[in-house]
Amino acid sequence: MDELTAPTEPEAKNQLFDLQEEWTMQDMTFILFGATGDLAKRKLFPALYNLFLDGKLPDSISVIGLGRNYFPDDIFQSKVESALREYSRRAVQTNGLNDFLAKFRYCKFDAADNDSYQNLHELIHDREIELNIPQNRLFYLSVAPQLVEVITSGLNKSGINQTTGWKRLIVEKPFGNDLKTARQLNERLNNAFNDEEIYRIDHYLGKPMVQNLESFEFANPIFGSLLDRKRISNIQITACETVGVETRADYYDQAGAIRDMVQNHLLQLVMMTALHLPEKMTAKEIQKQKITIMESLRPIYKDKMEQNVVRGQYEAGEIFDTPVVGYKEEPGVAASSMNDTYFAARLFIDNPSWSGIPFYIRTGKRMAIKSTKIVIEFKNKVKQTDALPADGITPNLLIFEINPNEGISLMVNMKNPSSKQFEPTYISFSTNSEVQPEAYELLLFDAIRGNATFFAHWKEVELSWQWIQPLLEAFQENTLPLHPYPAGSNGPEAANQLLQVDQFKWW
């Protein structure tokens, strides 16, 4: 290559990204169990539609929706259309809509009935012939947890999963209820699909800002020297919500914040934050690193639990000036429930990159605001002088805002020309969420192409259950206090103390 045609530096970088891994899109069938459910309506149909608008679906794709009630195809297609009109991030366009809807077929399905598998098999097969597409089959289980094993075993017995093309299975959480049941579930799924074929979805891994973490250090070498235990004092991961248990008491009162948010989403955020990736890596290498992080996560045994873990439950309070009931008064929740709606903990990753740096994590329902973010607090070596406010200078912070706003900001101290005092100032970048693809869009696109980077590998899931297992037992035995907090607050006071003893505070 002569000098004139040599790529400029940014071009060379882009080529590098493109060359990383080749994911190919092939014609296929998408089989959706739970097609009349909430997730399909709110997330999956809109995700498929937005991929369609972006030309990110295979040229030929057959979509088969399954549900317990009977509908003719045209009624199902009109349900899909209504879902798009209500939930798609981009307005439905007349142009192309019929082509999109024509891809959908419906099949009444009862997971316990052999004939249902037979009918489904025939429909998949007929459509493959009609569209002249290979037997590439992506199964999506958006169903109650107890049906996951039943359906995968039915797919196996009926031979639907024996294809001449590829096959993949996407499973939603919860992946088991504890370490033992998660292992059992995995074994059973492995009877029908091998590990590379199972895509365990964690929608937090589909959030654009979370995906950004993987390449942040690589794409911003200046941060490489900062994201290091010599400079960082602590890391705080928050996933707070204003909503309460809503209509999900049946599930949530058994799961609690620990199973609903910590075992999956929060521990995935810990892994993604702790990834040290100054170089671009393959999906396999990223998975390997995440597993190493989980293996280095220091266990919290019962004797250390009270110092390191805070669990809470919301009481009556106000959300945006509107009175709301306490958790125990929520429909479907027993008045004696000891379930956790709040969880905070201090974690340590005992590896050379992170040893000695506390990671604080917290999640709660019915909190003052909805906010998912990662805050990296840097060490503050400035000496106290007269030029500083009484409570000292604010430490520099690097903040990844994940939800509801998405962006990155760096908090630096600037001198106010009038008061001559240092004041925290934010250098911020935020993205326009309307143009950002939704988590499910990114994840479906990856699964269609066979890219498992942002899905939870079995080993990660197993190690997460293993890590929280002693906590589950302590919660079950009620050996840990359950701190009440008013709805609309920032959680129990005990969670503030968790940081105060280390001379930090939640940001």
Is 265 a catalytic site residue? yes
Residue 172 corresponds to which tokens in the numbers above? 């939603």
Query: Residue 173 Cβ, how far from ligand BG6 at the closest point, in Å?
Result: 6
**260/401 with CB nearer ligand BG6:** 260
Contact set for ligand BG6, span 135-194 (CB under 6 A)? none
Task: Compute CA distances 204 → 262, 281, 334, 439, whole Å.
Answer: 12, 20, 30, 7
Site string for ligand BG6, 242-271 (x = CB under 6 A): ------------------x-----------
Query: Residue 370 Cβ, how far from ligand BG6 at the closest point, in Å?
Result: 7
> In this structure, which amino acid lies at residue 375?
V
**DSSP-derived pairing of the beta strands 359-364 and 342-347:** antiparallel
3-state secondary structure 390-431: CCCCCCCEEEEEEECCCEEEEEEEEECCCCCCEEEEEEEEEC
Taking the CB of residue 220, how many other CB atoms lie within 10 A of it?
12
Applying CB under 6 A, what is the total number of residues that bind ligand BG6? Answer: 5
**119/177 with CB nearer ligand BG6:** 177
Residue 28 corresponds to which tokens in the numbers above? 């296929």
- Look at residues 300, 388, 393, 282 and name the one whose alpha carbon lies nearest to residue 350: 300
Query: Residue 372 Cβ, how far from ligand BG6 at the closest point, in Å?
Result: 5
Query: Residue 407 Cβ, how far from ligand BG6 at the closest point, in Å?
Result: 16
Residue 86 corresponds to which tokens in the numbers above? 């209500």
How far is it, in rounded angstroms, from Cα 115 to Cα 354? 55
Indicate the residue whose CB is closest to ligand BG6: 260
**339/403 with CB nearer ligand BG6:** 403
**167/362 with CB nearer ligand BG6:** 362
How far is it, in rounded angstroms, from Cα 443 to Cα 293? 23
Residue 52 corresponds to which tokens in the numbers above? 């369609």
The string of DSSP codes covering 8-36 is PHHHHHHHHHHHH-------EEEEEETTT
Determine which one of 121, 265, 276, 483 is catalytic. Answer: 265
Contact set for ligand BG6, span 387-406 (CB under 6 A)? 403
Query: Residue 239 Cβ, how far from ligand BG6 at the closest point, in Å?
Result: 6
Residues facing residue 489 across a β-bridge: 367
Taking the CB of residue 463, how many other CB atoms lie within 10 A of it?
21
How far is it, in rounded angstroms, from Cα 396 to Cα 394? 6
Query: Residue 46 Cβ, how far from ligand BG6 at the closest point, in Å?
Result: 15
Give the H/E segment covering residue 138. strand 137-141
- Give the residue carrying structure tokens 């669990």: 311
Site string for ligand BG6, 345-384 (x = CB under 6 A): ---------------------------x------------
Cβ pair 475, 253 in contact under 8 A? no
> In this structure, which amino acid lies at residue 84?
L
**314/354 with CB nearer ligand BG6:** 314
Query: Residue 260 Cβ, how far from ligand BG6 at the closest point, in Å?
Result: 5
**242/353 with CB nearer ligand BG6:** 242
**372/394 with CB nearer ligand BG6:** 372
Among 81, 197, 217, 241, binds ligand BG6 (CB under 6 A): 241
**124/237 with CB nearer ligand BG6:** 237
Query: Residue 122 Cβ, how far from ligand BG6 at the closest point, in Å?
Result: 35
Q: Is 139 exposed, middle or buried (0-12, 13-18, 19+ CB in 10 A)?
A: buried
Contact set for ligand BG6, span 323-342 (CB under 6 A)? none
Binding interface with ligand BG6 (CB under 6 A): 239, 241, 260, 372, 403
Which residues are catalytically annotated?
A: 265
